[in-house]
Amino acid sequence: MNPHSGYNCCDSRGDPGTGDIIDWHVYTGPDAPRPSDTRVSVLGEFGGVGLRTPGHDYSPNGQFFAYEQVTSREQLNDRYTGMVRDVRQLMTAKGLSAYVYTEITDVEGEYNGLLTYDRRVQKVDTEQVRQAHTALLDASRNLNAPAGLTLGHVRSFRVTTSGHTDRYLRHADSVARTDSDTGGPFAADATWCSRPGLAAGGVSFEASNQPGSYLRHYADQVYLARGGGPNPWDTSTSFAADATWNAGEPALWRSSVLLPTDRHQSLRVTTWGHTNRYLRHADGLAHTEIVDANSSGLLKQDATWTLRRGLADSSCYSFESVNYPGRFLRHADSRVRTATDDGSALFRQDATFCARAGIGGPGVTFESINIPGSDLRHFESAVYIASGSGAQGAYNRPQTLTADATWVIAAPWAP
């Protein structure tokens, strides 16, 4: 039972505390309440992104309304799929269980739909919407999977090293190796089934095309092995332990995107409508600002950084100011600023960010090494680290978080 849909808005008397659902309405959103021990979190209404399609809409009084206006199909695709990504963040970070988008079609006087009022024009791209929804559903099925693995499912392990990302872990003649797709049995050889650990405390990986054979280390090498088989690496001695892997530990190499270091780079915003803005420092604080060929030399320098190996971890990254050498981007009380390295462990952690594939699409997301789940994010021209939990302040809201926390590594404005 949903006792009060949207109790948080519209001069409501507030949450009645009853029923099975805690339900918010947030335009344009998304945002969501946290679930309780007895009630699930639902975003009962959000969205309202409008694209007018003259000749295919209708209003009894000639007036039309949308919570947010866009001017092109491309922008609507970007906003809608970005909202679905932000819902995915809410699901994983705040426990959201369901949402209702406003709305599937235009209605009388409102043009917030993905289809027009007469159902004759589809405003969004089918494939982009499908991909966004599929990613959301896939993430929902993996919510409780440790280390991103679901026992019983199949996985392929792709190399992340720059220049070798077309290679996968495979077995060939019982030996583990990395290889690019050579056709034939390659796909099967490069697919592994995650199984409960043959020994306690880990995961075992069974070859999908050779049931009963597992990824096993033996005498410093790695093989595809079968307990009691004919080869030396099949020996039953310590087989269960050798074929069980701890997949729950943090990666030794913390970044999943490799970036060139000791080079000047600029960080460009990817959020729709703001892609001419770059991360810069001013008066000791990090901001975003429009930078172009006509910008001042000072602004171009402020918007250029030397990418260094992470001060706290060499597999992550730190950003050193080009025009103030020795000053690095760091976070303090969630606000990102520049400061001189004081040699403390706290400073070096605050100034270290691990790179991963952009959570908003093409680009890179930088996660704080000492506050996991919080990413480098711009909000109203200022820069923070944020998780989208909604706590601390408006900058930590989940709206547009996935786009705002994704950056393009661009050519430096001050080479």
pLDDT per residue as tens digits for the range 261-289: 999 999 999 998 899 999 999 999 999 99
Residue 183 has pLDDT above 60, yes or no: yes
Token look-up 């996968």 returns 168
**Dihedral sign from CA coordinates of 353, 356, 360, 362:** positive
Q: Which residue has the tokens 């027009």?
A: 116
DSSP label at 35?
Answer: P
CA-CA distance, 195 to 55, in Å (whole number)? 57
Starting at the edge strand found earlier in the chain, the sheet holding 96-102 runs: 21-26, 40-47, 96-102
222 HSE (CA, 13 A, CB side):
13
Q: What is the pLDDT of residue 391?
A: 75
Q: d(Cα 158, Cα 164) in Å, to the nearest integer?
A: 9
Separation between Cα atoms, residue 59 and residue 161, nearest integer Å? 56
Gyration radius (Cα) of the chain, Å: 25
Q: In sequence order, what are the residues at sequence separation of 6 or more whose Cβ sits closer than 8 angstroms to the Cβ of residue 249?
A: none
Average pLDDT over residues 40-62: 95
Beta-bridge mates of residue 383: 378
pLDDT, one tens digit per residue, over 293-318 is 999 999 999 999 999 999 999 999 99
Instruction: List residues bridging with 49 in a β-sheet.
Output: 68
Q: With a cut of 80, say whether residue 255 has pLDDT above it.
A: yes
Of 9-13, 234-238, 321-325, 369-373, the poorest mean pLDDT is in 9-13
Greater pLDDT, 403 or 165: 403
Q: Is the pLDDT of residue 18 over 60?
A: yes
